[in-house]
């Protein structure tokens, strides 16, 4: 029994791999024309399909939405029973069908191009009704399904999925979609946490500051009240230095006579605090904290203006540590 299972699994993987290898034979010009149509879309991107292809269409929509190309899913069967109202003028519709000739697809296709719409077909049948009607087409070919009866959509749906991913990534690169853009659409989960901006994390913090003319006693009060383990020393609005609770402890442990009311801040402050931009990713800030073995970073904007303090506890609370 175990040998039979192993042979079945390996055979499925072999057939699927053979199918994937055929994707390199897709006409690159067909891909380019489809991508250009999506880039020039003045309306919505709508992805539709029937059966297992509909499930693939739903996944492609999810990928497009998360990578900077807003898209809408429409089930082909629901479309011919009222959901055609989703389609508006200038929308681009991507229709996925392995055969391109199912009754639902034949009924649906004429309605997909009635309002200056562009129809992109993804199919394995170059002579199908779908492909012949569409203005753009991506045609894939494969020997057989992994199903031993060559019936259950297996290899074909895998190829459709890969084509969808190729489309999404091409659009992403054409739009110069960056990590910071990706972060906007993924605020939740461990993936989202990696791309949190520093500016987002410090919104819950107070903004500890003290002026250069003030004394050590006032610095201690500022550190205590703001509960971030430090206070930033400003001179005419510019960052002059930072005093941490560690600086205070070292001062108190010294054998010198200390007058908290007359002692100057520059006697204990660090004049070159390590800073981080409010637009930097939280993961980059964490790296700075670890490299410098500190607990706080002074946050600045693009003009080097002081914006607040990022504490290691902010990163811990977000589950980054």
Three-state SS for 185-227 is CCCCHHHHHHCCEHHHHHHHCCCCEEECCCEHHHHHHHHHHHC
Q: Is residue 235 part of a domain?
A: yes
- Which structural domain range is residue 44 located in? 2-177
- Quick: pLDDT tens for 26-46: 999 999 999 999 999 999 999
- Quick: pLDDT tens for 216-272: 889 999 999 999 999 999 999 999 999 999 888 888 887 675 777 777 888 888 898
Q: CATH number, domain at 313? A: 3.10.580.10
Q: Is residue 119 part of a domain?
A: yes
pLDDT more than 90, % of the chain: 74
Q: CATH number, domain at 158? A: 3.40.50.10490
- Quick: pLDDT tens for 171-204: 999 999 887 777 777 777 666 776 788 998 999 8
The mean per-residue pLDDT over the stretch 273-277 comes to 94
Cα–Cα distance, 155 to 143 (Å, whole number) = 9
Residue 53 has pLDDT above 80, yes or no: yes
- The one-character DSSP state at 258 is -
Torsion over CA: 171, 15, 53, 187 (sign): negative
Domains of the chain: total: 2
Same domain flag for 201 and 147: no
Which range, of 62-76, 92-106, 261-275, averages the lowest pLDDT?
261-275
Residue 144 has pLDDT above 80, yes or no: yes
Q: Is residue 189 part of a domain?
A: no
* pLDDT of res. 117: 93
* pLDDT of res. 191: 67
């Amino acid at each position: 029994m175990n040998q039979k299972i192993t042979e079945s699994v390996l055979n499925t993987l072999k057939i699927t791999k053979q199918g994937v290898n055929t994707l390199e034979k897709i006409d690159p010009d067909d891909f380019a024309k489809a991508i250009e149509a999506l880039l020039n879309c003045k309306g919505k991107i709508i992805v539709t399909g029937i059966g297992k292809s509909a499930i693939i269409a739903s996944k492609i929509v999810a990928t497009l939405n998360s990578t900077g190309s807003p898209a809408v899913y429409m089930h082909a069967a629901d479309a011919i029973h009222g959901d055609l109202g989703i389609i508006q003028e200038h929308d681009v519709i991507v229709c996925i069908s392995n055969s391109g000739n199912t009754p639902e697809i034949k009924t649906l296709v004429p309605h997909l191009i009635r309002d200056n719409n562009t129809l992109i077909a993804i199919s394995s049948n170059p002579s199908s009704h779908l492909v012949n009607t569409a203005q753009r087409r991506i045609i894939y070919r494969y020997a057989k399904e992994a199903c031993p009866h060559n019936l259950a959509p297996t290899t074909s749906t895998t190829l459709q999925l890969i084509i969808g991913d190729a489309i999404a990534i091409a659009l992403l690169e054409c739009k110069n979609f960056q990590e910071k853009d990706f972060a906007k659409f993924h605020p939740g989960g461990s993936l989202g946490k990696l791309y949190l901006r520093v500016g987002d994390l410090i919104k819950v913090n107070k903004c500890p500051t003290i002026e250069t003319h003030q004394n050590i006693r006032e610095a201690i009060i500022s550190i205590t009240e703001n509960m971030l383990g430090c206070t930033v020393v400003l001179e005419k609005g510019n960052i002059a230095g930072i005093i941490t609770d560690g600086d205070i402890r070292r001062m108190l442990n010294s054998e010198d006579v200390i007058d908290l009311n007359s002692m100057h801040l520059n006697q204990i402050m660090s004049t070159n605090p390590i800073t981080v931009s409010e637009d930097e990713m939280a993961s980059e800030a964490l790296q700075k904290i670890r490299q410098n073995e500190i607990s706080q970073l002074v946050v600045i904007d693009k003009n080097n203006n002081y914006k607040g303090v990022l504490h290691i506890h902010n990163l811990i609370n977000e589950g980054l540590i």
